[in-house]
């Protein structure tokens, strides 16, 4: 992976709910609220990742990769 913002390697969606009472918008449809966990794999040697606390303590998932996850609502 290159330094800089990383893309999730997996998005685990826990819930999917209507937003704004499922109001439909022209051309796009209704919005939804997703509650999910985004799973990442980052290179601990990349300079852009040196600011991540305790990155060296994460278990490696592949050569030069460390796994992490973050909960989010979109």
- Whole-number Cα distances in Å, 22 to 13, 19, 33, 72, 74: 19, 5, 10, 20, 15
Identify the residue whose tokens are 């606390």.
Answer: 53
To the nearest 10°, the Cα dihedral for 50, 53, 58, 64?
0
To the nearest 10°, the Cα dihedral for 11, 14, 70, 42?
-20
CA-closest candidate to residue 21, choices 31, 9, 34? 31
Report if pTM > 0.85: no
Give 3-60 pLDDT, tens digit per residue: 445 667 888 899 999 988 888 888 888 888 888 888 877 788 888 888 888 877 777 6
């Amino acid at each position: 992976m290159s330094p800089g913002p990383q893309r999730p390697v997996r998005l685990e969606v826990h819930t999917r709910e209507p937003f704004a009472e499922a109001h439909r918008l022209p051309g796009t449809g209704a919005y939804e609220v997703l509650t999910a966990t985004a799973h990442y794999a980052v290179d601990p040697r990349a300079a852009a990742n040196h600011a991540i606390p305790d990155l060296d303590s994460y278990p490696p998932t592949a050569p030069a990769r460390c796994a992490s996850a973050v909960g989010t609502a979109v």
